[in-house]
Structure 1
Amino acid sequence: MSHARAAGRTAVRLGAAALAAVLLAACGGSPEGAAGGADGKVTVTVDLFGSFGYEEAGLYAEYEKLNPGVTIKQTDTEDEADYWKSLQTRLAGGGGLADVQAIEVGRIASAAQQQADRFEDLRAYGAESLKSGFPEAKWAAATGKDGRIIGLGTDVGPEAMCYRTDLLAQAGLPTDREELAQRWSTWEGYLELGRQYQAKAPAKSAWIDSVGSLYSVMIGQQKERYYDASGTLIWDTNPALKAAWDASVSAAQNGLSAKLDQWSPQWNQAFAAGSFATLPCPAWMLGYIKGQAGEAGKGKWDVAKLPAGAGNWGGSYLAVPRAAKHKKEAYALIAWLTAPAQQAKLFRKQGNFPSTTGAIAQIADATDPYFSGAPIGRIFGEAAKAAPVQVLGVHDQNIAQQITNALGEVERKGTAPEQAWGNAKKGVQNTVG
């Protein structure tokens, strides 16, 4: 899931395409963990956002078993924007920080370029030895201008479309993943199917959860979104962004949206209630769907190829703040969690797509019984190969938030699209300065 004020800063290039350039297994040795404290025991604190899946996949328990005396304590914030705001406050004050802090890919340029001195340089703990196991772009995004390494990559977000087979069947639409991929090979095809769905949809069910998620997945298919490769802001003149905006506005005006704020309690409840039939889903969303829809949702969901090609939405990093209490132990933990064996296990259990080349090779044949036996290894693997190498800028996440807020005004308040766009521009100006 989801994360420099001057536009002239050089943006970092990152994308899932680089991940699969070489599907050669990397050794990616896993450190045997942490030395204990004075009494031989230590608690490593981990602060995350969204759903990383480590606890659910049993990785914490496995690590604690491998490292007697180590206890892992996790806290998490569901909404990444709330998490980031809190993290900024704590970084500025130097207190209240966990030993391990997550950083979303939309924030990594800001952290690496503007806040590198507030995180441990992981080279001091031997991180350079792990470099060959990660694609160059994933590694470079967390590297400061002085070579400082501030984080290790967890996952990436190759995209597909998750959908409810039972709801589509009730509306008289096909449910076969290959047929659907053909029918919605373009975004216009996807919206047309949505209009057909709405004509015969089950009561209290919409085609998509929100137009914000439609915008996010469409813009995730672009190489340049908010900045160009020189670091210049281009968001308000980018034709690809305008196309994503227009499609999202069209979906709102056609009544295709359930009008739900992603990550809100209402959105969470909607998974079990069947409030929407389709959901653009980066790989990490699979685990979230399982958690919210529960056992009753097993076999009702499936996964198909995304309309209009591949894209990337999300992916994160694990970092160790300078103010961490257990820095050595924290590094040992994040090196283990991001090693190929653990990344592969996490994908098979939770859907988080690996960022290490060795793990990608291990999960090519993965299927998921919860999602009707969908070949998730193939679907997301092909998406990872084809996704563009994205240009990341220091305010990516903030700009995206302003645009999705504006789209929310269109779908929930009926605000005129031109007025909402103007509100987005003002919001971005206030954010970027």
Structure 2
Amino acid sequence: MQRLSPPPTSRRHVLANSLAAALVSATGPAAALAAGPERRLTVAAFPLVDVIAKDVLKTWAQRHPEVRAEVISRQYDDHHTAMTTALSTSGHLPDVIALEASYLGRFSLGTGLEDLSAPAFDAERLRDRFVPFAFQTARNREGRVVAMPTDIGPGSLFYRADLLAQAGLTEADLTRSWEDYVEAGAQLKARTGAYLIGDVRLLKDIVVRAGTPAGEGQFFDNQGRAQVTSPRFVRAFELARKVRRQGLDARVEVWFNDWAEMLKRGRLATEISGCWMAGQMANWVAPGTAGKWRVAQLPENAYCSYGGTYYAIPRRSAPERKQLAWQLIQELTLDRQRQLEAFQSQDAFPALLAAQEGPFFDQPVPFLGGQKARALWRDAARRIPVVRMHKQQKFADEVVNGELDNVLEYGKPIARALEDAQALLVHRANR
């Protein structure tokens, strides 16, 4: 089974696949300075956040000709690994770091990031300019802001309108509840032969996330205690087991060739993802299905974000360049026009509220049959609750997924599977 090889403009797929090659590039006329004291500013990023940063630096460098601005880009996982090492050793620290939302918990709970709430930066004054959840997610356990949001991925339910019509179903049949979503999937499979979803993990993930109490974490409560035996995990596992037993998931992993082929051939009736998926399907995954897809808010009016990007300043980076770094971060996150351009070119839905207004959001999306989907995503973005990230977020996800496999493949009782996951997380947290 092979992964797809996306074009370089496929930002979200590059992030998911981690396929981009490492590169280093200097930006702006400062690179050609022949005399005078030179100041350097380094931004560490990952594809295709690096493209957005370079575009900003082209004009930013014109106002700072004395500065040699440089973007260092690494493949997605390599970038975050390198930043973990740099922050822990204080070696080769950049001036600005781009961080993906799923990694933010690991970084924000340490001491490696600068406190942007401090008077020297006063990030608190900017709070009301962003969608609430994005700004609040950037707080550490002491409530201090350690990063600034730039883009988010409001989640939605993508569905094939033609397959729903063929099965005699409506959008409401999919969205009333997660149980109704699964029941509609059984009817879709019986009447059209299409699978409801690619893999049950997608369903398990969103049911768990959607049920997370505001202000708590997906796997840990606000006191850092594991909570994977809670009712929302039980419900998510039960729904996933029902989908698998009824043969409603195609058992294909997102971003692999067989997944894309099923999308192209109308074998997958729904997809649960961030709003950026519309661009991915339209531009290269399944362009031949244009006009057949629609989007809806997630079942039970659940609201969540799929990914997002933040900019931060390392606490131990060069002190004399921190104010310059802060100026650049503000330009990267607060410029309405740049945020809109990033959305239009890179599917980077803006976290900045001012960039969520304007005629672009009222325009029909051709791939979605002319639906004005951007307004729907905007509504979702403003309703997404704050879910706290934990430093063990990725480990907890691996543990829970492992136990889900035990339930689906080996018939392990759900209660015991979740208890075993809980015990492992408690053990890890107490180390």
Instruction: Specify if TM > 0.5.
Output: yes
Q: 1:380 aligns with which of 374, 377, 381?
A: 377
Is 1:152 equivalent to 2:148 in the alignment? yes
Tell me which residue corresponds to 1:112.
108
Q: Does 1:215 align with 2:204?
A: yes
- Find the counterpart in structure 2 of residue 226 from structure 1: 219
Tell me, yes or no, if the aligned pair for 1:216 and 1:313 is still in contact at 8 Å. Answer: no
Cα distance in 1 between the residues matched to 2:364 and 2:233: 33
Question: Which of the numbers 291, 305, 312 marks the counterpart of 1:299?
Answer: 291
SS of equivalent to 1:276: coil
Q: Tell me which residue corresponds to 2:387.
A: 390
Q: Structure 1's 192 and 360: CA in aligned 2 closer, same or farther, altered over 3 A?
A: same
Distance 1:212 1:85, change over 3 A: farther
Higher alpha-carbon deviation: 208-217 or 359-368 = 359-368
Match of 2:412 in 1: 416
Instruction: Tell me how far apart the structure 1 counterparts of residues 237 and 173 of structure 2 sit (CA, whole Å).
Output: 24
How far 1:422 sits from its partner (Å)? Answer: 5.0
Q: CA deviation at 1:141?
A: 3.3
Change (3 A) 1:417 1:94: farther
Secondary structure of the residue aligned to 1:155 is strand
Retained in 2: the 8 A contact 1:164–1:277?
yes
Higher RCO (CA < 8 A, seq sep 6+): 1
The aligned residue for residue 75 of structure 1 is 74
| Counterpart position of 1:186 | 177
Per-residue displacement from partner, 1:87-139 (whole Å, max 9, x unpaired)? 43443344466554333434434422323x34575854564553442355533
Tell me what 1:343 maps to: 339
Paired residues for 1:8-407 under 5 Å: 36=30, 39=33, 44-48=42-46, 55=51, 60-61=54-55, 63-65=57-59, 67-68=61-62, 70=69, 72-77=71-76, 84-85=80-81, 87-95=83-91, 100-115=96-111, 117-119=112-114, 121=116, 124=120, 127=123, 130-135=126-131, 137-144=133-140, 149-165=145-161, 168=164, 172-173=166-167, 179-202=170-193, 206-224=195-213, 225-229=218-222, 231-262=223-254, 267=259, 271-272=263-264, 276-290=268-282, 292-293=284-285, 295-314=287-306, 315-322=308-315, 331-339=326-334, 340-362=336-358, 364-407=361-404
Supply the distance in 2 between the matched residues of 1:196 and 1:153 (Cα, whole angstroms): 41
- Do the aligned partners of residues 70 and 84 (structure 1) sit closer, same or farther apart at CA in structure 2, a change above 3 Å counting? closer
SS, match of residue 73 in structure 2: strand
Larger Rg, first or second structure (1 or 2):
2
For 2:257 and 2:84, locate their aligned partners in 1 and report how far apart those are by CA, in whole Å. Answer: 24
Q: Alignment RMSD, CA only?
A: 4.0
Q: Distance in 2 between matches of 1:206 and 1:83?
A: 36
CA shift in 2, pair 1:174/1:331, >3 Å: farther
Kept after mapping to 1: 8 A contact 2:95/2:313: yes
Name the aligned partner's letter for residue 311 of structure 2. Answer: L
Give the letter aligned to residue 183 of structure 2: E
TM-score, normalising length from structure 1? 0.72
Give the secondary structure class of the aligned counterpart of 2:210: coil
- Unmatched runs of 5 consecutive residues or more in structure 2: 1-11, 17-26, 63-67
Contact conserved, 1:144 with 1:150, CA < 8 A, in 2? Answer: yes
Which TM-score applies when normalising by structure 2?
0.72
Cα deviation for residue 398 of structure 1 reads 3.2
CA distance in 2, matches of 1:154, 1:408: 35
Matches of 1:180 and 1:305, distance apart in 2: 10
One-letter code aligned to 2:220: Y
Q: Is the 8 A contact 1:209 1:258 kept in 2?
A: yes
Distance 1:189 1:226 in 2: 25
Cα distance in structure 2, aligned partners of 1:232 and 1:376? 37
Counterparts in 2 of 1:183 and 1:151: CA distance versus 1, 3 Å = closer
Structure 1 portions without partners, runs of 5+: 4-32
| TM superposition shift of 1:327 | 5.8
Taking only the aligned residue pairs, the percentage that are identical comes to 24
